[in-house]
Amino acid sequence: MIKLILSDIDETLIDREHHIPKVNLERINEARKLGVKFALCTGRSPQYCVNIMKELGIYGRDDEYIIGFNGALITNCRDFKPIYYDQIGYDLAKEIFDYGRQTYQCMIVFQREKCFLFNPSPLELRRKIKQSAHFEVMDDTDLSFLKGQDVTKIVFSNPNPSQLNQIKEDMSARLEGKVNITFSSGRYIEFNALNIDKGVGLQRLAKMLDIPLEMTMAIGDNENDVEMLQAANIGVAVRSATANAKRYASYITALDYADGAVAEAIERFVLGKIG
């Protein structure tokens, strides 16, 4: 019996217009009536998920939870105060940022409650505005203005897969044993604190809620979801998921994310409506 569902947001829970399909909301609410917890597990900051939380009806509640920054932050959905929090810190952030600046990357530097865009692409500017995100475009060409402050993670936005792979190869060699590097949404490479991933986030939240891992299900689509799919008892990859995410999933949906993949997973494994 499933008691905890964790879902990625982008290309998993929401459609192309950044809203939750009606069928997903209906099935999530049916699961909740059975006592199942539904939590978001995302690379985003919780503050950038407020619209999604409002659609789910969990915004402002201290008995509902979100895992943000790929597992680096766990908060409730009321005040976003950390229940668990980890970060890469300034020195490591500076090393990553300097590489990105030298290679002309569009970068997003995240603190717990805001972010800074360096060399922003039009896509990233539009995305942050749509998310109602608290962000600033950087005029500085270094990170010295953040010295002594928290730096949660850094993301490079680059639509070229071969360049992303080269960045991972370069930075893995430079930062071995210092940082966790993963891909998301086909255009991002993300740098989190070492030993931070969505799978660890799932385990921490399940333990906090006293829910055995045998009663968990996770739904995702990309490389940063792999550990979450592995950690859950049932790992569900949506139809358009990456090959690697599908490799580690125990079930692949027939529906794509915009058509109700999350609803399909809940119907099959929680509600028993699909044979």
Q: What is the pLDDT of residues 201-218, one digit of tens each?
A: 999 999 999 999 999 999
Position 59 scores a pLDDT of 97
Contacts of 268 (CB under 8 A, 6+ apart): 251, 274
251 burial via Cβ count (<10 Å: 0-12, 13-18, 19+): middle
CA 86 to chain centroid, in Å, comes to 15
Instruction: Using pLDDT thresholds of 50, 70 and 90, give the confidence band for residue 63.
Output: very high
Among 26-30, 129-133, 192-196, the least confident range: 129-133
- CA-wise closest residue to 129 among 138, 120, 140, 139: 120
Position 260 scores a pLDDT of 98
- CA-wise closest residue to 72 among 107, 48, 41, 101: 41
Element (H, E) at 184: strand 179-184
- 4-85+197-271 and 90-193 share one CATH topology? no
Q: Does domain 90-193 have CATH number 3.30.1240.10?
A: yes
Mean pLDDT of 106-124: 94
Position 275 scores a pLDDT of 55
Task: Locate the domains of the chain by residue range.
Answer: 4-85+197-271, 90-193
Q: What is the pLDDT of residues 239-257, one digit of tens each?
A: 999 999 999 999 999 999 9
Six-digit token pair at 33?
């009536």
Mean pLDDT of 96-121: 95
- CA-wise closest residue to 26 among 38, 41, 8: 38
Q: What is the DSSP letter of 188?
A: E
Position 129 scores a pLDDT of 86
Instruction: Using pLDDT thresholds of 50, 70 and 90, give the confidence band for residue 274.
Output: low
- CA-wise closest residue to 23 among 275, 192, 271: 271
Q: What is the pTM of this model?
A: 0.94
Share of the chain above pLDDT 90, in %: 91
- CA-wise closest residue to 195 among 178, 207, 183: 178
Contacts of 133 (CB under 8 A, 6+ apart): 45, 47, 48, 115
Cα–Cα distance measured from residue 36 to residue 52, given in angstroms and rounded to the nearest whole number: 18
Contacts of 139 (CB under 8 A, 6+ apart): none
Q: How many CB atoms are closer than 10 A to CB 22?
A: 11
The CATH number of the domain covering residues in 4-85+197-271: 3.40.50.1000
Position 131 scores a pLDDT of 78
Mean pLDDT of 88-109: 96
Cα–Cα distance measured from residue 76 to residue 264, given in angstroms and rounded to the nearest whole number: 26
Cα–Cα distance measured from residue 26 to residue 129, given in angstroms and rounded to the nearest whole number: 28
